Structure 1
């Protein structure tokens, strides 16, 4: 098969890496790709939002299957446009991708179908939103309604923080049009986790559970980022809880989307929090999470291309998906200053030495410059190690991370500590 992967981050590098292991895949193209992906696939100078060019390429090269990594092209209707040309693509159409594209739509869906989530209110008027926040008090959660590259959420622990978040979203327009409408939610206390699922209509095949680390600094301090690391499994969350999440949240969500005329096909990301009242939904995404993919796919035993094909051909229900018992831990190495301003073009050294430590180095924001790998984004690398336990995977990954150097490199030193604390 000839496969096209759309995207150029750590998530897409992981997907390409997994597809490259399949005996059924002859050639992989990636648009636009990055320096790491270029070792496994032919990278194309086509941006993820240049959908017409991607369609033209898929037609001319007779691509057998396309997979889309990021959310923006999904919401822009890349699946619809590929299907209109008779091309095979695995992912949700624009109507189904709205589950990520509008937080208010997702909340209304959960309310209508009684899927457990935080109480909320939606506003397009700044003064009304401000009054509501002052009435409710802190802690409280402020979310830009639209896509904001994972940065549109503020967990405000004080009223001042909440008011600042509202002003930035609705008046200063720091998230552009995405912040014109805001969703204000009740603050939920508990431990967070992510359950990714392969979905085709009402058929749900859950992946293994993972936990992402959003705040920039150790101890969950600092501003929210796209994700500073992840690990899987999440040993403090028992199998009965995962079964409950599938039965009471993920399967009802898939069924609700079918009933709404927005049948979902692709990867459904369910971000969850375990509260005293049980698990509740924090957010949905319409694609693989980043950096959760970097710990989930290394644990997958079944050929990924078989799952994609089954999802497209209506055979997902009968596919038995197998997972490795091993644990995986991913540490994100970011540019100094991320998630705020940072400089690019810093040379990266030690990649081969890290690989010698049995790590898989997934490139997120990198580029090739004069035969050197340089930084080219906020999140630069996702370094993943596998081991028989979370503790051993964690030890291995930090040994590998210590080998990699670039100016201003920043990473958290406590990824997966929550699991180890619970296990003691």
Structure 2
């Protein structure tokens, strides 16, 4: 099978690496790819969000299957365009995109199917939002765009000025959603779907802020798997997962692909925060190295609607994913900084026992590695438990250095500290 993965970020590198481990492929391509994917696949210089360019690339490279785990190509109609022309794909079709692309729709969806969510309100303009916040002075809220927002950008605060200023930056692109703040453990649940059921990948817990109490980011780290108690997992399935899949089916939005569910495990039980119709970053980088089942076997089961019968083989080890970012991220990342040379074996993820290195905002130019974005490299440590994985991630991050580089120093700490 000849595979094309669309994307250029760290999670796309992780997915391409996952494919590269398969015994069932005879061609691997990534568009446009990055400096990390070029050693395991053929990078194609096309626009992954252009249905026409992707289709032409499929014809020229005799592609059997196109895998989309990132958001941009989904929202430009690549899936539908390819399917209409007979090319198999992994990703949500247009009829399902509003589950992520319109947060107000997703909230009415959860209301219809009695799925627990935070109290929420949608505002179209500044004045009614300001009036509402003044009536609830001192209360803590989350503000985020009501439409698709790259990197899950939001603010969580009780400060009126901070909430209003952030909302003002979003209003030019559309309405905003105001949600109550929830305290608890954040968990990312990644489900692979077919017409008869689902397969749950190892759950993770993501660190979304630049630091404890810092600015929101696209994700600065993740641990996997999250140690969930049996009763919590049962409640998660019964109150969120099963009602969601039922709702997708009866509302004719069911599809074959991935559905990522962000939840908070509160004292009252699991509460749904958001749906994503693609993989989340850095959760994907954390769980991919732990999955032992051949990805092609998973996709074949999906095609045959037998996912729920597939026994997923997962390592008994744990992972800690640590994101190295540029100076100024998340507000104004400084780019064009040169990375110090990285040992070739580490670049290839070929050194047994070493951390994994998944590249995002990094590009090669004239034999040098230069930063091109805010989140540059995800270092993933593997260990017998979270503490061990944490140690290996922080040992491995020493090989990633460039002027202004930074990372959180506490990823995974809360899971093993007393």
Same-fold call, TM cutoff 0.5: yes
Give 1:136 deviation, angstroms.
3.2
8 Å contact from structure 2 (residues 235, 269) kept in 1: no
Give 1:62 deviation, angstroms.
2.2
Match of 2:185 among 191, 212, 215: 191
User: Which digits, 9 at most, give the CA deviation of each residue in 1:217-247, with x for residues without a partner?
Assistant: 2xx2321010001111223x32331232122
Name the residue aligned to 1:204. Answer: 198
Q: Secondary structure at the match of 1:348?
A: coil
Equivalent residues in 2 for 1:7-406, closer than 5 Å: 7-137=7-137, 138-170=139-171, 173=172, 177=173, 180-201=174-195, 203-217=197-211, 220-235=212-227, 237-352=228-343, 355=346, 358-406=354-402
Q: Secondary structure at the match of 1:213?
A: strand
Q: Secondary structure at the match of 1:261?
A: coil
Q: Secondary structure at the match of 2:164?
A: helix
Give 1:202 deviation, angstroms.
5.1
8 Å contact from structure 1 (residues 353, 403) kept in 2: no
Q: How many angstroms apart in 1 are the aligned matches of 2:32 and 2:61?
A: 16
Give 1:347 deviation, angstroms.
1.6
Give 1:381 deviation, angstroms.
0.1
Give 1:408 deviation, angstroms.
0.8
8 Å contact from structure 1 (residues 95, 262) kept in 2: yes
Q: How many angstroms apart in 2 are the aligned matches of 1:353 and 1:372?
A: 13
Give 1:129 deviation, angstroms.
2.3
Q: How many angstroms apart in 1 are the aligned matches of 2:167 and 2:316?
A: 44
8 Å contact from structure 1 (residues 202, 251) kept in 2: no
TM-score, structure 1 length as denominator? 0.94
8 Å contact from structure 1 (residues 354, 401) kept in 2: no
Q: How many angstroms apart in 1 are the aligned matches of 2:64 and 2:315?
A: 28
Q: How many angstroms apart in 2 are the aligned matches of 1:337 and 1:151?
A: 18
TM-score, structure 2 length as denominator? 0.95
Asked if 1:412 corresponds to 2:394, the answer is no
8 Å contact from structure 1 (residues 204, 251) kept in 2: no
Give 1:354 deviation, angstroms.
8.5
8 Å contact from structure 1 (residues 89, 312) kept in 2: no
Change in CA separation of 1:362 and 1:232 when aligned onto 2, cut-off 3 Å:
same
Give 1:312 deviation, angstroms.
2.7
Give 1:405 deviation, angstroms.
1.3
Change in CA separation of 1:318 and 1:201 when aligned onto 2, cut-off 3 Å:
same
Aligned CA-pair RMSD: 1.6
Q: How many angstroms apart in 2 are the aligned matches of 1:201 and 1:386?
A: 34
User: Which digits, 9 at most, give the CA deviation of each residue in 1:45-99, with x for residues without a partner?
Assistant: 1122122100121133221111002112112221111100010001110111221
Give 1:151 deviation, angstroms.
4.4
Give 1:358 deviation, angstroms.
0.6
Give 1:353 deviation, angstroms.
7.9
Q: How many angstroms apart in 1 are the aligned matches of 2:207 and 2:345?
A: 22
Give 1:149 deviation, angstroms.
1.0
Give 1:200 deviation, angstroms.
1.6
